[in-house]
Structure 1
């Protein structure tokens, strides 16, 4: 009997699902109040409009979302905020992104897209002039709760200096993916588990035939 192969595959998926999906639902009123107070306490360090943030929390649907980030780095040599040595914006941002991405991954989040700009605006009207962004990134968040928890985590307060030293300007806003030709983890992980379980079952079957 090789039923245990499928039990292992099912358990592996349950572990993945427990980590990757939001099981707590939308933000509750007391959570919204708590996060609003945390942002207000650090308002001097955050350019986020309190009203926009409050609306974002109140309209929470409990689903995943992707944060789109447009980033413009400081050009030329940049002074390292700790050592004073010469560095560059893309190098310095790793001092912030490294710790943040690890914490994001623990909460079921991960980078979805990272792209470098290859030219100026090709097609635009009734919009501002080209702001010279260098990088477009999209970060997947399991829930708005996870974003707010990370954004108000004081552990990143010290590493925030790397972000300020590296970035000259940035714009970020949440999005919901409506179409994508890329397989996302919630699709390819169960498919991979099915494939591995099938291969293991076939391998065991042929092994038993050769006995």
Structure 2
């Protein structure tokens, strides 16, 4: 699934403790130019991300999985830090982000967005 639903956001915000969150992004591109479209999405979304205090900590191409079940290899992995879960939801509600999101949807065939917090 690549579309974030209102119930997804409600569940996500229910766990908001106001602390920063690092979102693990596991991305599978559409075979018909999805990778290129995703770079277009990043160019459109990066200013919105920055305006809401987010930053890309890491992004890299997925290579052959060392240890994974069939179908668990990903084309790209990214770690994106947000000041809080609320900052993430404010970003995706931003009208400028609404112009970028259709490009993201056209680029991806599958995605996982996993919020993480430091251990301890």
Question: Does TM, normalized by the shorter one, top 0.5?
Answer: yes
Contact 2:13 / 2:85 at 8 angstroms: preserved in 1?
Answer: yes
Question: Which residue of the partner structure matches residue 53 of structure 1?
Answer: 9
Point out where structure 1 has 5 or more consecutive residues left out of the alignment. 1-44, 79-87, 180-211
Asked if 1 retains the 8 angstrom alpha-carbon contact of 2:56 and 2:78, the reply is yes
| 1:123-181 deviation line (CA, Å, top 9, x unaligned) | 55xxxx324420010100011111011111222223222212211111111001338xx
Of the candidates 49, 54, 64, which is equivalent to residue 119 of structure 1?
64
Residues 48 and 97 in structure 2, CA contact (< 8 A), matched pair in contact too = no
Largest Rg, 1 or 2? 1
Alignment TM-score, normalising by the size of structure 1: 0.50
Q: What is the aligned residue count?
A: 119
Deviations 1:21-50 (A, max 9, x none): xxxxxxxxxxxxxxxxxxxxxxxx944360
What is the Cα-based RMSD across aligned positions, in Å?
Answer: 2.3
The CA deviation string for residues 77-97 of structure 1, in whole angstroms up to 9 with x for no partner, is: x3xxxxxxxxx2222112221
Q: Does 1:170 align with 2:111?
A: yes
Distance (Å, rounded) in 1 between the aligned partners of 2:84 and 2:44: 19
**TM-score in terms of structure 2 length:** 0.83
The answer (yes or no) to whether the contact 1:121–1:130 under 8 Å persists in 2 is no
**d(CA) in 1 for partners of 2:6, 2:52:** 25
Give the direction of change, closer, same or farther, for the CA distance of 1:46–1:93 in structure 2 (3 Å limit). Answer: same
**4+ long deviations beyond 6 Å:** none
Greater helix content: 1
What is the alpha-carbon distance in structure 1 between the residues aligned to residue 14 and residue 110 of structure 2?
Answer: 28
